[in-house]
Amino acid sequence: MSHPKSINYKEDEINLARYAKALGHPARIAILKFLASTDTCFCGEIVDELPIAQATVSQHLKELKNAGLIRGSIEPPKVRYCIDPENWKKSSRFFEDLFKKLI
Amino acid sequence: MSHPKSINYKEDEINLARYAKALGHPARIAILKFLASTDTCFCGEIVDELPIAQATVSQHLKELKNAGLIRGSIEPPKVRYCIDPENWKKSSRFFEDLFKKLI
DNA sequence: ATTGTTCATCGCAAATATACGATGAATATT
DNA sequence: AATATTCATCGTATATTTGCGATGAACAAT
């Protein structure tokens, strides 16, 4: 792919897009809602909850982690996941700012 | 692709994911911010503003339109775009509901 | 030492997204 | 009629995403 015009979006636009992209799949929305409702949980609980295979759930968790929306702490042989409160608040503010630009 | 477990996400999760996905690219964030700041605009103005080709801008506009976030009205030989106030409010509420689940 | 549990990662296939140039459709101007 | 403007769409190339089964790593329990 070529980029004749050099791409230079603003930092905030890139960050907001990254958060939005992470939220852009029903499975990940469901995972986050589940996480928010239970405070913390293990991968296995999500697998039981959702209609997708363990490998796929693990991949979605990885993406949410990469986006910064969740965190995982090892608790052998499991991994306890929770929402990252700081980034959660940050992304909440990002969306709020975007939407209040019009309403 | 195969789907051994039948996929059945909740309606709201699907809708929120669709809005989020539409917001999941810096160019589309930039387009929406520009649209919000100018009320309405033509495709050409966005092409001047953003570092991407006309065909690509048009495609992003199409995706935003498919997601329901913007509308376009023909004004020959141009198309005037504006944010869809109703769906904008709706998606704003969706995100608000998601984020307030934790904070 | 062997087995079981839990989860990440690898390797693969198919689908979707991103970007562009070229072309087409619609209309206004000459 | 011919030309110019504006924008959508087509065709194409490449990258990313989504999903799965299989395997591996880490630890617990036998």
Residue B7 inside a domain? The answer is: no
Residue B32 inside a domain? The answer is: yes
Residue A26 inside a domain? The answer is: yes
The residues facing B42 across adjacent strands are: B80
Going by the DSSP 8-state scheme, the letter that residue B25 receives in this structure is: S
- B83-101 residue pLDDT tens: 999 999 999 999 999 999 8
Residue A49 inside a domain? The answer is: yes
A84, A62 in Cβ contact below 8 A? no
pLDDT bin (cut points 50, 70, 90) of residue B103 is low
Q: Is A2 on the interface with B (CB under 8 A)?
A: no
Pick A17 or B75 by higher pLDDT: A17
Residue B4 inside a domain? The answer is: no
A20, B23 in Cβ contact below 8 A? yes
Which residues in chain A are closer than 8 Å to B29, comparing Cβ atoms?
9, 13, 16-17, 20, 98
Residue A22 inside a domain? The answer is: yes
The residues facing B78 across adjacent strands are: B75
Q: Which residues in window 2-21 of B are less than 7 A from strand C by Cβ?
A: 21
Which residues in chain B are closer than 8 Å to A28, comparing Cβ atoms?
17
CATH code of the domain containing A50: 1.10.10.10
- B49-80 residue pLDDT tens: 999 999 999 999 999 999 999 999 988 789 99
Which residues in chain A are closer than 8 Å to B17, comparing Cβ atoms?
23-26, 28-29
Structural domain harbouring A17 = 11-99
- A20-74 residue pLDDT tens: 999 999 999 999 999 999 989 999 999 999 999 999 999 999 999 999 999 999 8
pLDDT bin (cut points 50, 70, 90) of residue A7 is low
| Alpha carbon distance B93, A19 (integer Å) | 17
Residue B1 inside a domain? The answer is: no
Residue of B92, B90, B89, B83 whose CA lies nearest to B39? B83
Per-residue tokens: B1:
């692709």
Report how many domains make up chain A: 1
The pLDDT of residue B28: 98
Mean pLDDT to the nearest integer, A69-89: 92
Residue A66 inside a domain? The answer is: yes
Q: Which residues in window 6-65 of A are less than 7 A from strand C by Cβ?
A: 7, 42-44, 47, 54-55, 57-59, 61-62
SS3 B51: coil
